[in-house]
């Protein structure tokens, strides 16, 4: 009996232990295990995230939505203890160009920069550190800073007979006719308001220089409303005759710096470069509104400046430096007191100066009695005894000796304000523009 009493507590202890073991086993069976069919993982893919210079990334992995376990495979067979991280990369800097003058150490993967910008280390036209090409600006400032050269245009006449012969040989001594241009380009100048083929040009490159040949079979009249005739032209006065090829060399254009502001300069050509009519005729155009012959926005000369001249004078690099400008054509820029002939402002690359511009005492204009180039002379510009010409302004004229509806302002050969009928082809062209330094 005593032995039975001793055994009972032991049995109870064993029973409790067995019950605990059974409970633990049951809990174990209920727990997630990829090898047990009692729980099916609900796996969600976590995409790979690349590391950056400063932040960690991770490899792709899968996570059970129910139990939170992580796996390296889609099937959920390979459990992992933690998110598979990718260490941050850190910055890798190299010299990188900031602009034409400087470079800086910049990370190849992000926007991080190290230190401050420093001057390029140019060797033979290329930076030895960053490889940037040395950019030569397309303009040259004069020593006194009053002028600069920019772009090129036919100007001086070729007088050397040997060079003339070589240039003629380049075009195989062929001249144009109204029926066969032979590689020449028609100016399409006017004969009593009608464009006709009687004056042509051709550009020839010879020994690293560019030349323009000009040939005329009839004389260009001094007005777009006049017939071609030796008595209606200034070309003869200037020494140019029909039936001869004249050659002119493309030369850098010299510009006067009128003023400077915000890294830009306001320029006017130093010489009369060409000769063009302001508009084809003296009549206003009617429609929804009246457009007078001296309307600069709708003028022939504005089109010529921004197409013919602009494309001839400037290559693609030069054009990057020309500032597209909103040109003020308000009544305040003219000599007029009313707005009858005032046009809207224009958006231009190249333009004519206004009446207000040439009378602005703050501008460094210099003497406004301008000489002309030989090329402008060949085009038929009018010249005085001192070889100075008259040149257009964009402003409509005030009421005066000429009807205001078809007259525009100009500067005469003495450098003073004057007016001229818009049909005159004998008034010179002095382009103006804003340039980025």
End-to-end CA distance of the chain: 119
Which residues contact residue 155 at a Cβ distance below 8 angstroms, ignoring those fewer than 6 apart? 248, 249, 250, 251, 253, 271, 273, 373, 374, 375
Residue 302 contacts residue 277 (beta carbons within 8 Å): no
Burial state string for 78-116 with b = 16 or more CB within 10 A and e = fewer than 16: eeeeeeeeeeebebeeebbbeeeeebbbbbeeeeeeeee
Which residues contact residue 228 at a Cβ distance below 8 angstroms, ignoring those fewer than 6 apart? 191, 196, 198, 218, 219, 220, 221
Sign (positive or negative) of CA dihedral 252, 419, 351, 366: positive
Rounded to whole angstroms, how far apart are CA atoms 376 and 8? 133
pLDDT for position 435 = 98
pLDDT tens digit sequence for 341-400: 999 999 999 999 999 999 999 999 999 999 999 999 999 999 999 999 999 999 999 988
Q: Could you give the C-alpha distances from 323 to 249, 317, 354, in angstroms and in order?
A: 27, 13, 18
pLDDT for position 24 = 47
Name which of 346, 333, 337, 343 is nearest 291 in CA terms: 343
Using 50 as the pLDDT threshold, list the residues of the chain that sit under it: 1-2, 4, 11, 22, 24-25, 27-34
Task: Domain ranges for the chain, please list them.
Answer: 38-90, 93-136, 141-436
pLDDT for position 21 = 55
Which residues contact residue 346 at a Cβ distance below 8 angstroms, ignoring those fewer than 6 apart? 296, 297, 302, 326, 327, 329
pLDDT for position 124 = 84
Which residues contact residue 297 at a Cβ distance below 8 angstroms, ignoring those fewer than 6 apart? 329, 343, 344, 346
Rounded to whole angstroms, how far apart are CA atoms 376 and 392? 13
Residue 326: which H helix or E strand, with range? strand 325-327
Burial state string for 310-348 with b = 16 or more CB within 10 A and e = fewer than 16: bebbbeeebeebbeebebebeeebbbbeeeebbbeebeb
Q: Which residues, in sequence order, are bridge partners of residue 210?
A: 205
Rounded to whole angstroms, how far apart are CA atoms 363 and 232? 37
pLDDT tens digit sequence for 176-210: 999 999 999 999 999 999 999 999 999 999 999 99
Burial class (CB in 10 A: 0-12, 13-18, 19+), 126: middle
Residue with tokens 């958006």: 347
Rounded to whole angstroms, how far apart are CA atoms 349 and 325? 6
Residue 380: which H helix or E strand, with range? none
Residue 217: which H helix or E strand, with range? none
pLDDT for position 101 = 85
Q: How many CB atoms lie within 10 A of CB 291?
A: 17
Secondary structure letter of residue 190 according to DSSP:
E
Rounded to whole angstroms, how far apart are CA atoms 181 and 200? 8
Rounded to whole angstroms, how far apart are CA atoms 97 and 113? 12
Q: How many CB atoms lie within 10 A of CB 37?
A: 6
C-alpha of 79 from chain center: 61
What secondary structure does DSSP assign to 259-320, as a single string? Answer: EEETTEEEEEESSB-EE--SSS-SPPB-SSS-B-TT-STT-HHHHHIIIIIHHHH--HHHHH
pTM here is 0.74
pLDDT for position 278 = 98
Sign (positive or negative) of CA dihedral 164, 168, 169, 171: positive
pLDDT for position 7 = 52
C-alpha of 266 from chain center: 17
Which residues contact residue 209 at a Cβ distance below 8 angstroms, ignoring those fewer than 6 apart? 249, 250
């Amino acid at each position: 009996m005593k032995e039975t009493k001793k055994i009972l507590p032991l049995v109870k202890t064993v029973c409790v232990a067995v019950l605990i073991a059974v409970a633990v086993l049951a809990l174990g069976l209920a727990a997630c295990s990829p090898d047990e069919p009692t729980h099916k993982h609900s796996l969600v893919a976590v995409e790979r995230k690349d590391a950056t210079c400063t932040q960690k990334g991770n490899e792709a992995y899968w996570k059970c939505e129910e139990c939170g376990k992580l796996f390296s495979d889609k099937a959920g067979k390979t459990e992992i203890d933690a998110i598979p991280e990718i260490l941050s990369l850190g910055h890798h800097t190299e010299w990188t160009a900031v602009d034409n003058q400087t470079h800086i150490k910049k990370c190849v993967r992000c926007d991080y920069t190290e230190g401050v910008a420093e001057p390029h280390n140019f060797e033979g036209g290329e930076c030895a550190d960053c490889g940037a090409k040395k950019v030569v600006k397309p303009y040259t400032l004069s020593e006194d800073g009053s002028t600069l050269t920019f772009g090129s245009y036919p100007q001086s006449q070729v007088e050397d007979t040997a060079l003339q012969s070589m240039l003629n040989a380049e075009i195989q001594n062929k001249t144009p006719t109204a029926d066969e241009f032979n590689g020449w380009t028609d100016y399409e100048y006017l004969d009593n308001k009608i464009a006709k083929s009687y004056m042509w040009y051709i550009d020839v490159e010879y020994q690293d220089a560019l030349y323009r040949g000009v040939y005329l079979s009839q004389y260009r009249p001094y007005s777009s409303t006049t017939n071609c005739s030796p008595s209606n032209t200034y070309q003869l006065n200037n020494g140019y005759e029909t039936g001869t090829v004249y050659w002119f060399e493309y030369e850098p254009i010299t510009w006067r710096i009128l003023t400077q502001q915000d890294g830009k300069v306001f320029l006017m050509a130093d010489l009369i470069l060409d000769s063009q009519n302001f508009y084809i005729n003296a009549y206003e155009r009617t429609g929804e509104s009246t457009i007078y012959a001296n309307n600069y926005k709708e003028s022939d000369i504005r089109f010529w400046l921004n197409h013919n001249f602009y494309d001839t004078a400037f290559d693609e690099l030069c054009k990057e430096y020309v500032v597209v400008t909103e040109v003020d054509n308000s009544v305040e820029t003219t000599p007029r007191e009313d707005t009858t002939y005032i046009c809207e402002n224009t958006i231009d690359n190249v333009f004519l100066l206004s009446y207000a511009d040439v009378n602005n005492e703050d501008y460094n204009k210099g003497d406004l009695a301008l000489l002309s180039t030989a090329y402008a002379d060949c085009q038929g510009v009018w010249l005085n005894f001192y070889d100075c010409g008259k040149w257009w302004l964009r402003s409509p004229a005030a009421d005066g000796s000429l009807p205001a509806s078809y007259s525009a302002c100009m500067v005469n050969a003495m450098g003073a304000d004057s007016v001229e009928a818009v049909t005159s082809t004998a008034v010179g062209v002095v382009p103006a523009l804003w340039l980025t330094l």
